[in-house]
Each structure stands twice: as C-alpha cells, then as structure tokens.
Amino acid sequence: MPRLSLLPLVLPAIACVAACASEVTQGAATGADAAQFDAADGAAAIEAGAEAAVRSPDAPQPDQAPDDAAVDAAPDVTPVVIKKGPGDCPGGATCPCAVDEECDDGDPCTYGMACEQGACTAGQPENCDDANVCTADACDLAGQCTHAAQDHWCEDGDPCSIGDHCAAKACTAGAAAKCDDGNGCTADGCVAGQGCQYAATADKCADANDCVEASYCTLGQCVQGKAKPCDDGKPCTWEDCDPKKGCAFIALPGPASACAGTIGDGWCFAAKKAEGTWAQARKTCGAWGGELATVRTADDNALARKLADAACGKVPAWIGLSDRAQEGSFVWLGPHKGGYSNWNGGEPNDSGGEDVVELVPEGGWNDLPESAGRPCAVCSRPMVSACDDGEPCTTPGQCAAGQCAAPLAAPATEDCDDANPCTADGCAVGLGCGHTAVADDSPCGASGQCKAGVCLMPKPVDLALAPTSCAALGPGGANGLYWIDPDGAAGKTPAFQAYCDRAAGGWTLVLKVDGAKPDSAYGSPLWTEVTPTAGATASPDGTTARLPGYATLSLTQVRLTLVVGGTARSLVFAAKAANLRALLTGPAVKTTATVLQWQALLPKGSLQDHCLLQGFQVAAPNGVKARIGILGNNEKDCGSVDSWIGAGATANICGAKDTPGAGNLACWNPDWGDAKTAAIAWIWVR
C-alpha cells in the first residue's frame, strides 16, 4: 500500500493553529489586561496541533485502519489561559463568536456583551452614579459600586446661602447671602427659595450736601431736596453755596475798581493762565478782583473765547458755571442767576459726577469733574453795581466792598414829581414818595381846574372843536383829563374824557389793569368787550378799567407801563391798528424790543433765555400766553415755557395759576432768579 503523505493534513491544522495564535497575540497586545504572549507556548500549541492532526481519526494511517478506541483514548489538548480585557480575544469586543455566551471581556464592571453578526459587542460600564455631588463613585474589582465621601463645593438649592460645601457625603449650607444693592432707598433681605429682595422705602436718604434740604426716597431712588435759601439780605453781596461748606456771601466790587481787562456790556472780563482745578481757577480770578466768568449772552461767550485764545491759546478754559449745589441746576458764581447757554451736543451729561464747566476751544461748553485740570481761566465782574440802601427818599446807591453807599457825599433825594399839576409831591422818610391832591378848583394847564387830584379841562362849548386824540392837543401842556372825539363831530362816537400824558408826547390812557386780580388774566372779559367799564375813572391809578378809547382810538404806537412799588416803567412798541381792542384780540403781531428792555419794566425782571417769543397775542404750545408780553424757556424751543413778562397773561406754571395777570412770572433757572411779581399795568396809545 502506498505510503500516504501527512503534509496535506498537517498544513491546514498548522495554519489554523497559527491563525488562532495570531488572534491571541493580537488580542493580548491590544487588551487592557492582556498577558504577554509566550512564544514557547505558541510553539507548543503549534506542535500539539500538528500531533492532533496526525491522530485525527479522519486521517487514514498507512498500513492500518483507523482505531476509534485509540482516538477516544487520546489525551485532550490543554487550553492556553490568557487574562482577558476589553478587546481581548476570545470573548472581548470585536472578537469572533457564535453565541452570546462566548462574549465576556472578563471585566466585572461591564455587562451586556452580546454576539452580533459573528463578533462580540462592547460591554456597558456599570452605572455607579448615586446623583450625589458629595461622593466619588466607582466600581471595584468585585464589580461592586463604591461611593467614597469627597470634599467638594456644592449647591444646596437655597439662594440665601453661599459657599455651600460637602460634609459627610451631604451638601451643607454655607454663609448667609449678603443682600446689599448699595441703594439707601431699598430695604434689603433674602427670602428662602427666592433669593435677595430689594423693597423700595420712603425713608430720608443721605445726601452729604450742605446746599440742599433733606432728601427723600421715592420709588427706590434718592430725590434731592430743594436748594437751601442763601440770602443775607444785603444788596451788595451775591450768594454762592459750597456743597461741603454751605452758603457763602461774596462782596460785589465797588465802582472804584477799574477794569484791568476788557469791558463788555457793563462787565469787565479777563483771561488768565492758571493750570489747575476749577477751585484753583476761582482763586486766580479772586486775586484779580472778580470771579470765574459769568456768560450772559452770545456776545459774552465770543468775548470770553477771544480773551482765552489771546492769553492761553486754543485750549479749554474754566468759566463760572456749576451745579455743585444742586444736581442738574446750573448756576453762575455772580449775581446773574441764569440765562444764555451754549452746551455742546449731549452736554451736560454728568458722566462720573461732572459738576463744573469749561469753555472748549470751539466756543461750546462741557461739564467736568471738579478734580479735572485746565490751563486757563476766564474771569469777570460787574463794573458798577447799583443798590438800594433801604431809604425810600434817596436815589439808588452803588456797591463798595459789599456795602451800599450813596453815589454822592450827601444822599440824593429821589425825584417824586409825577408830572401832575394837581398833586403836591414829596418824599417822607420811611414811606417814600407821596402825592397829595391839591385843593379842588385849583387852576391847571391853560384853562383847567383840579378835581380830586386830576386836572380837568372844561368841556368845549362846541364839541366840534374837541381834538381827536391826546396827541392832537399838540406838544406841551399839563397832564390831565381832556375832552376828545376820535371820529370828530360828524362821527358816531361821542366825545369823552380821556387822561392825556402830554408831557411825554400826547399819549392817551385806554386800559388799566391790576395784575394781582383775577380779572387781569388772558381770558377775562376786560380784554374782549367793547363798552367802557361803568363808573371807572379815566385817570391812572391802581384800579382795573376799560376806558372809552380802548375800542375807538386808532393807533400807530402802544406804550406799556408797569407800576411796581409806586415806580412806573414804560416800553413803547410800533403797531398799527383800528384800536387797541382789535390789536389785542386779533392775530398775533410780533414786536422787536430787546430782552433787557422787557426786563427793565420791573425792578428785577427775570426770564429764561430761550424761545423769547414776544408781541401782541403771544402764545406758546404749553398754554402760556399774554395779550402783550414776552415768553421765555430754558429749553431751546417754546414747547415748555416757564417765564413771561407782560400783561393779560395766563399760565399754569411755577405753582401760580392765572396769577399774576400782569407783571412777571418765572421759574426753572431764569436769568435773575425765580419771580412772581404782580404789577399795575397801564396801556396807552397814540
């Protein structure tokens, strides 16, 4: 029998064993816990495989038949024991398999391996998370979960505690939360489960400012109190207030102080090099004899900038405007209280506590903190400051070293002449000017007689000879009551008596208004009705009356006279109308007087320095209007007017509704301070 070759049988077995050895080697090299593969063991396995192949009952042996008993008695091959880990074969992830039971990576902390499509899936790690941030979770070699305590930050869920930490596997509350919003107008506290709460209070709030009254909390905000009044009652000092020191009173310079600078509209200006803060610049101006500049008009502003350029160059310069005393209320360091402004766009913005003002090289204004430094200061002072020494029978004096002194060695007596030939004029100490009616029937004028202190001209025998107006009487002559006939003897208007101011050029008095009475207001019938007030006297006095000439005398001029404290001040306007009633109830008519002329109608007329709409039938969008007057606003428009001078006014502003109706009403930073002055108004035509 031919000898059979064993090579075809041995080679497949060797190849199989070699392949398995290769898989074992690969698994051992890549598994986490794989043991080193022993080359000797691999060789033994190959040899054992070959021997098994030789013994295989399916392999015919030469010269003998297969022996089943011998095959059964053959010893089993001892398997190679290899420590398995994830990825190890056999049994690890991706290892070949036939059933799920063949998949086991040997890691007690994984589970759920399965055989899918002939390969083992990866096991799932044991979930040992106990949802407690205060434990460190792990799986031990026995496959049991462990939870060791750990020192760690944690959150106990209560917003009213901070810095919570772990202790004995539990989250322990830390320190109590500090609820403080830094606002003195809220009550601060913490509510469990909600956290910090800040409730608005109505308490007083701290305000370290000696220039304002106590401040109060409103809606969670500290509202600054009203400015404290700084007034020493002296006419020759102006008032200032330092937030840290309170009120200060600065002497007005006297007439003897010459202008060591440039005169502009009655004030002396100068610019000084003075590198330093606003307070240091004040000292520089004080040594010069004035204060940081008060800028009252655009001309003042242009002059201040011109002087600064000449003295210091094109650099920012300090001026005397600030809101140190009361936030948002900018006031000048001199006697001038408000007026003109020239803020740059977006200014003042109070960014970072900006309370003082610089004049920038382009001429605009910008607010800065008091600690800022600037290289230049513009100074100013009034050249002459008139004052009232309190004696009604002397003319105004002039300030010197903070005191009011008479302009002459001997006090000059006030001129009390009222140009009325039917009164005896004089001045009584402590009382002022007085006018006593002379005896009735005393002669006055060319042919008149005095009656109750008024010069009464006799009624012409022929009224056709009566003049058409007081102006038609001609120049000269006495002031008094004259018969006039506006449309002549052939007209429908009968002759009537009118008070004529002949000394001033023939003015006819046609309306009298007591500004302290409600019937002086814009809506009163006094302005709109035609017929004269019954029983009214035609002479100028403190009563309210519509006189016969109001709706009958044609005119080309109007004169407004305001009387305050017995002193009459007048302003003349050009206006053409059929009569004063038609002018004061018709369309608006513009006038062109200066602001200073309007202010001169009063002892101290005060206006805001924008809008400045003036004329007959003047009105602003916010309801402020006057039959004749001028309106002012602190905004650069007429939308929120808060000041007026004139007659026949109405305005629900400044806490005064419809009162006064003639005079001056002003608030919100007018140029000479708040005003509420009722005046007697006389309106004349010619």
* Domain locations along the chain: 7-125, 237-382, 427-505, 506-686
pLDDT at 9: 32
**What is the arithmetic mean of pLDDT over 118-133?**
90
pLDDT at 211: 78
The yes-or-no verdict on residue 142 having pLDDT over 80 is yes
Do residues 632 and 666 lie in contact, with contact meaning Cβ atoms separated by under 8 Å? Answer: yes
**What is the arithmetic mean of pLDDT over 385-390?**
66
Phi, psi dihedrals of residue 22, rounded to the nearest 5°: -65, -40
Among 263, 227, 267, CA closest to 247: 227
Burial class from Cβ neighbours inside 10 Å (0-12, 13-18, 19+) for residue 120 reads buried
How many helices and strands (H and E) does the chain possess? 8, 48
**What is the arithmetic mean of pLDDT over 392-421?**
68
SS3 content of the chain, % helix, strand, coil (to 5): 15, 35, 50
Phi, psi dihedrals of residue 509, rounded to the nearest 5°: -75, 125
Q: Which of 247-251, 303-307, 668-672 has the highest mean pLDDT?
A: 303-307
Please tell me the distance from the alpha carbon of residue 22 to that of residue 90, in angstroms, as a whole number: 12
Please tell me the distance from the alpha carbon of residue 227 to that of residue 324, in angstroms, as a whole number: 11
Give pTM, 2 decimals.
Answer: 0.50
**What is the arithmetic mean of pLDDT over 334-353?**
80
The yes-or-no verdict on residue 498 having pLDDT over 90 is yes
Do residues 492 and 484 lie in contact, with contact meaning Cβ atoms separated by under 8 Å? Answer: no
Confidence of residue 357 (pLDDT cuts 50, 70, 90): very high
Confidence of residue 22 (pLDDT cuts 50, 70, 90): very low
**What is the arithmetic mean of pLDDT over 584-605?**
92
Sign (positive/negative) of CA torsion 657, 211, 608, 684? positive
For tokens 């302003």, the residue is: 571
**What is the arithmetic mean of pLDDT over 78-90?**
52
pLDDT at 409: 43
Q: Identify the DSSP state of 17.
A: H
Sign (positive/negative) of CA torsion 193, 195, 200, 205? positive
Confidence of residue 389 (pLDDT cuts 50, 70, 90): low
List the Cα angle 60/64/67 in 5-degree steps: 75
3-class SS letters over 330-349: CEECCCCCCCCCCECCCCCC
CATH architecture under which domain 237-382 falls: Roll (3.10)
Q: What percent of the chain has pLDDT over 70?
A: 79
Two structure tokens written together for 14: 């060797």
pLDDT at 508: 96
Beta bridge partners of 423: 437
pLDDT at 601: 93
Do residues 213 and 228 lie in contact, with contact meaning Cβ atoms separated by under 8 Å? Answer: yes
Do residues 448 and 455 lie in contact, with contact meaning Cβ atoms separated by under 8 Å? Answer: yes
Q: Which residue type does 146 have?
A: T
Do residues 216 and 205 lie in contact, with contact meaning Cβ atoms separated by under 8 Å? Answer: yes
Q: Which of 190-194, 333-337, 569-573 has the lowest mean pLDDT?
A: 333-337
**What is the arithmetic mean of pLDDT over 500-507?**
91
